[in-house]
Amino acid sequence: MSAKGMLRRLRTELGEKSTYDAVSQCSRCGYCEQACPTYVATGEEGLSPRGRNQALRLLLEGKLKEPQTAARLLDTCLLCGACATACYAHVRVPDLVLEGRRLLRGGGAPAASRLLSWLLLDHPGLFEGLLRAAYLLKRAGLGRLAARLGLFRLAGLPGLAAAEEHVSEVPSELLAPRLRERPELADSSGARWLYFAPCGPNFVLPKVGLATVAVLESQGRTAFLNNRCCGLLAYNYGELSSARESARRVIAESEARLAAAGPEAEIVGDCSSCVAHLKAYPQLFLEEPEWKARAEAFARRVRDVVEVLPAEGACGENATYHDSCRARHGQGISKEPREFMRSCSRGFTELPEADACCGGAGAFAFLQPELSDEVLRRKISRIAETGAKVVATSSTSCLLQLAHGLRKYYPECRVAHVSEIAAAGLGATAPRHAGKE
Ligand code: SF4
Ligand code: SF4
């Protein structure tokens, strides 16, 4: 094993620490155990935050005789961060788990994530062409046929079978081309908001992005920043070099647009996972002072759309709210979206365990389908207890996972992005099932 490809230094509540010092902050008290969805689902100590910290510590000390035994513990972490919120010492388990995965990979990355990074970073036009072709095949029913025949599994890509099942419908057009049809959105000068289109709204749920733009326009001049991948996929599953390169490009492009817009302008995104990653860019550059300073200046200008909602929305049905992990635990946001939902719903009910992960967690639902479904069933049963007809949330992964879970276990309820509910209040668009387009 080699430390090549690891961050090696992490930001913690107690300042910057080496990975070893950061994991050593865990006193093994176990206070976080009941907050951990994988521990609650399995009762297995190894699948708890404490178990994962211990595995990483032993890996770093070279005391694990079979390092691959740690892989299962680390690969099954949802990276939800509920443990870090519960922990008095604020041990950042997701960052530590990612360091453990990088250590086990020795600086490499799976072929699928290398290919995806290559496409998203340097060949976005090719990626869009391939995606459009995949959507055509899906609309023709060939994706489902391939999944039923087990072709994805035969090809060594079982995750694609799960993805095919999760995404029930695909959009007829991507988001960015629609926004580029509006020349006024290209002009940043004097803009209050610069809309950053994360990959989820751009490629899978363009209605969410259109709703967000409408919500922002209702509150000030808005420009379309870009739809460049923020690098989260590479950060979580791939190589840090790709994640850093994505971050540098996003920062460099934003600096010019922010300068044109003025000192009040803020960058707004509408997938809480990507926004949390944008805000965490400085972590990528702890050993590069110039880029660290630029990343910090950039991160100060970034907002999640759930932080800048208008006073009113339209959600006339019994509603509840599910915290995206990366909004709640990654950014500490819980008050604003709740206040908004209370103001616009005739019957808002607080969701029990609202801040517990739904099991979506990026590609987790596709890579660990059984554990993901176990976590999902608990989430859907909590939603059913509220009697909600609509559940609002703010991450692409939650939208897809909850849409899938509701279809399967509680079809009386639908899921919507908070932006869609806010836009419906403006009369801009009706809140819709987030899995449909
Ligand atoms: S992560 Fe925090 S709460 Fe959990 S066992 Fe370690 S010190 Fe205790
Ligand atoms: S990040 Fe989530 S799944 Fe991972 S150890 Fe913490 S609570 Fe458990």
pLDDT in tens, 313-338: 777 779 999 999 999 999 999 999 99
Euclidean distance between CA atoms 319 and 349, whole angstroms:
6
More confident residue, 73 or 113: 73
The pTM score is 0.91
Mean pLDDT of the chain: 89
Percent helix, strand, coil in the chain, to 5, is 55, 10, 35
Q: CA angle 329-275-303, nearest 5°?
A: 100
Residue 223 lies in a domain: yes
Residue 207 lies in a domain: yes
Q: Is 100 in the pocket of ligand 2 (CB under 6 A)?
A: no
**Count of domains for the chain:** 4
Q: Among 307, 336, 352, which residue terminates a domain?
A: 307
269 and 149, same structural domain? no
Residue 346, exposed/middle/buried by CB under 10 A (0-12, 13-18, 19+)?
Answer: exposed
C-alpha distances (whole Å) from 367 to each of 83, 295, 362, 409, 425 are 22, 31, 10, 21, 37
81 and 29, same structural domain? yes
pLDDT at position 130 is 86
Euclidean distance between CA atoms 334 and 89, whole angstroms:
21
Closest CA relative to residue 294, chosen from 304, 303, 284: 284
Nearest-CA residue for atom 2 of ligand 1: 87
**Residue found under tokens 């099932």:** 433
Q: Which of 23, 73, 83 to mutate to test the pocket of ligand 1 (most atoms within 8 A of CB)?
A: 83
Closest CA relative to residue 241, chosen from 1, 2, 32, 7: 7
Say yes or no to pLDDT of 1 above 80: no
| Domain containing residue 342 | 315-425
Q: Pull the structure tokens for residue 98.
A: 């990612």
Residue 3 lies in a domain: no
Residue 30 belongs to a domain with what CATH number? Answer: 1.10.1060.10
Q: Which of 13, 23, 24, 29 to mutate to test the pocket of ligand 1 (most atoms within 8 A of CB)?
A: 29
pLDDT band at residue 417 using 50, 70 and 90 as cut-offs: very high
Say yes or no to pLDDT of 430 above 70: no
Residue 323 lies in a domain: yes
Using the 8-state DSSP alphabet, how is residue 435 labeled? T
229 and 159, same structural domain? no
Euclidean distance between CA atoms 342 and 313, whole angstroms:
10
